[in-house]
Amino acid sequence: MKVGSWGNVIRFQVSGNKVLTFQNGMARATSVQYETHNTLYGAPRLQFVGPGTETVRFTMELNAMICRKPVRVEDAIRKAMLKGEYYPLIVGKRCILKNALITSMSTSYDIVIVDGRIMSLKIDIEMSDYN
C-alpha cells in the first residue's frame, strides 16, 4: 500500500514484501518573517513581511529484510539532493510541501555483514519548501 512519495526517488510504502516509510513520525515546522523597525520613543515595532520557509524532518530505516537494496535507495536520495531536485512531498493524499528539496541528510550504518554489505541503515532527512 502506497503511503506517500517524493517524486520517483522516495516512494513510501508498506506491504508484505516491502516497507519503506518514515520512522517515529514526521516533524513539520512553519515560520513567518517579520521586519523590526526602531522607533524614536518606545519599543521597536514589528511588521509582517510574509511567510517563511517550511521544513520537514524524518528518519527512514532501511533494512535489507524489508527493503531491497537499502544502499541503492540511499544513493538515489543523495544523488537527488546533490542535484538540487525538488518534488512535491505527499503523505497519504495530502501535499505536505509543494516543491520539497532535501537540504540535509545523514546516514548511520547499523548492520554491516562480514563481506562489507550493508544490511541496515538509517537516514535522517531534512527538507525545505523551494519557492
pLDDT tens for each residue of 72-128: 889 999 999 999 999 999 988 899 999 999 999 999 998 888 888 888 889 999 999
The number of CA neighbours under 13 Å toward the Cβ of 90 is 16
- Asked whether the beta carbons of 93 and 108 are under 8 A apart, the reply is no
- Quote the number of domains for the chain: 1
Which candidate, 100, 82, 117, 107, places its Cα nearest to that of 10?
100
Q: Residue 27's domain spans which residues? A: 2-129
pLDDT tens for each residue of 6-50: 988 888 877 666 667 777 888 999 999 999 999 888 899 999 999
Round to whole Å and give the CA distance between 19 and 1. 9
Which candidate, 62, 57, 71, places its Cα nearest to that of 12?
62
CATH number at residue 11: 2.40.30
pLDDT tens for each residue of 55-65: 999 998 888 88
pTM: 0.81
Question: Using the 8-state DSSP alphabet, how is residue 65 labeled?
Answer: T
